[in-house]
Amino acid sequence: MGTLTDEIKRRRTFAIISHPDAGKTTLTEKLLLFGGAIHVAGAVKSNKIKKTATSDWMEIEKQRGISVATSVMGFDYGDYKINILDTPGHQDFAEDTYRTLTAVDSVIIVVDVAKGVEMQTRKLMEVCRMRNTPVIIFVNKLDREGRDPFDILDELESELKISVRPLSWPINIGAKFKGVYNIYEKTLHLFKPDKQKEQERLENTDVNDPRVDEAVGDVDAAKLREDLELIEGVYPDFDVQQYLDGRLAPVFFGSALNTFGVKELLDCFVKIAPYPRPTVAEEREIRPEENAFSGFVFKIHANMDPNHRSCIAFVKVCSGKFERNAPYKNIRTDKVMRFAAPTAFMAQKKSVVDEAYPGDIVGIPDTGNFKIGDTLTEGENLHFRGLPSFSPEMFKYIENTDPMKSKQLEKGIRQLMDEGVAQMFVNQFNGRKLIGTVGQLQFEVIQYRLLHEYGAQCRWEPISLYKACWVESDDPAALDAFKKRKYQYMALDSEGRDVFLADSNYVLQMAQNDFPAIRFHFSSEF
């Protein structure tokens, strides 16, 4: 093993984000294929090859074909150690994705060439912009009919509000798609539809090389030269520093399903993407190369393995070296803990790790000791910020349909809430439990997982609410008066904080006007 600095410099930790169906999970899988982490696309843990992507391992995801939990995968590629965090594209799980973005150093955005930039992608880009996260864009599905690449570039600039610079360029699109010219490395890649193998490439091909005409025909070769000349004229030269500062996004074109254009993306990515950066805690900035270990929990996942009722807390290592069995302090509980079986992930395969470096993600078996946002250190009191819960927009009462199973239901709800899938509030007026989510699909996932993982059945009862917001005040009398006046609409969150359940925007605005001494918060961090 190299020194701490060497290990940090070879790490690349990034998330892949996109709108549902743009091909994110397929791209993740092809990256794993190049890393030798899987040998057949679509391979899962069984010996028979099932057609289910490696990273979607929760049952409900397999049934609905969408990723609802962020998976973590690590593999070596050449001299680099790559950690991919695959995120749910579905907007009902946006919050999970926002949190994941706090644990990565850069992002790859996947855009469907036919659909262009969609709503969800725009929102996620805003989070990247807030944090100045470097972004690379992969325009996918070029083997299908789609839009003109220049139109796509214009749309990326205007919709994502970032300058772009193509580093590869397609030769035709859809049925006539012939390949991609890699501007970054000056190589020509010829397309043949094949889901398993790489494509043939002509190395060191200047675009004026007669071999280009032989390979793609005179007409397309001429068009390619014309396009490249236009690109050189319109777009600034690629500047790595601009990319690292989050101001310029390199763009690659390809077809993830056909493993085409993926290696170009990966080869350029490992060269230019940032290695782990300093993390800002409330107390100070923490640099990865510091000797003392620190890290934070950005995600908790119940039942990674349905045979064992266990949760796993995902810890992002921020500084120093994480070691198995070493004593680390959980700052929130002030407890010192040792971890005998920390794991690293390769999709479904987990392996116990002895050490991990900044940028790595470690899974720690959790029996209810952790909450999202917890900080672990060798003793120093640090608090990492930036893992908000947003105020939910959909609400339902959760009712137990099997009184014999109320313990299982309690436990299941508690673990799923700790995971951050949704938020639970207890109505102070009638003592009933309310679940708040950002989308309808989460209710289905909760119901499904309660039944299949905890053997508990629940039913939902609708309730019409506009928003839940956290309330606080420096004036205890004012807060008390507010709670008395609104007692039917007051609830407590899982931390015991006061939450006001407004049933309409009008009611909320009136409350804000009538009670100037009360502060209303729409995210749990205040």
CA atoms within 13 A on the CB side of 169: 22
pLDDT at 56: 53
Name the more confident of 413 and 208: 413
pLDDT of residue 355 exceeding 60: yes
pLDDT at 483: 92
pLDDT at 55: 54
Task: Report residue 188's pLDDT band, with 50, 70 and 90 as the boundaries.
Answer: confident
Both tokens of residue 422? 């949704």
Q: What is the pLDDT of residues 12-70, one digit of tens each?
A: 999 888 877 777 778 888 887 777 655 444 443 333 334 445 555 455 555 555 444 54
Percent of the chain with pLDDT over 70: 83
Contact 360, 76 (CB under 8 A): no
pLDDT at 43: 42
Domains delineated in the chain? 4-272 (3.40.50.300), 281-377 (3.40.50.300), 394-521 (3.30.70.3280)
| Residue burial 464-499, b: 16+ Cβ < 10 Å; e: rest | ebbbbbbbebeeeeebeebbeebeebbbebbeeebb
pLDDT at 61: 56
pLDDT of residue 256 exceeding 90: no
CA dihedral 275, 280, 281, 282 (to 10 degrees): 180
pLDDT at 59: 59
Q: Which residue has the tokens 């994941």?
A: 100
DSSP 404-448: GGHHHHHHHHHHHHHTTSSEEEEETTT--EEEEESSHHHHHHHHH
Q: What is the pLDDT of residues 477-490, one digit of tens each?
A: 999 999 999 989 99
Closest to 432 (Cα-Cα) out of 405, 450, 458, 451? 458
Task: Report residue 499's pLDDT band, with 50, 70 and 90 as the boundaries.
Answer: very high
Q: What is the pLDDT of residues 115-150, one digit of tens each?
A: 888 877 887 888 788 778 999 999 999 888 888 889
Task: Report residue 474's pLDDT band, with 50, 70 and 90 as the boundaries.
Answer: very high
Lowest-pLDDT choice from 20-29, 227-236, 302-311, 341-350:
302-311
pLDDT of residue 243 exceeding 90: yes
As a whole number of angstroms, the distance between CA 186 and CA 325 comes to 49
pLDDT at 525: 63
Per-residue pLDDT, averaged over 192-208, amounts to 61
Lowest-pLDDT choice from 25-29, 92-96, 390-394, 418-422:
92-96
pLDDT of residue 382 exceeding 60: yes
pLDDT at 250: 93
**Cα R_g (the chain), whole angstroms:** 25
pLDDT at 482: 93
Residue 37: beta bridge partners? none
Q: Is-above-0.85 flag for pTM?
A: no
Lowest-pLDDT choice from 4-8, 63-67, 302-306, 407-411:
63-67
Contact 479, 472 (CB under 8 A): yes
Task: Report residue 522's pLDDT band, with 50, 70 and 90 as the boundaries.
Answer: confident
Task: Report residue 251's pLDDT band, with 50, 70 and 90 as the boundaries.
Answer: very high
Strands (E), 194-330: 201-202, 248-253, 279-280, 285-286, 294-302, 311-319, 322-323, 327-330
pLDDT at 218: 78
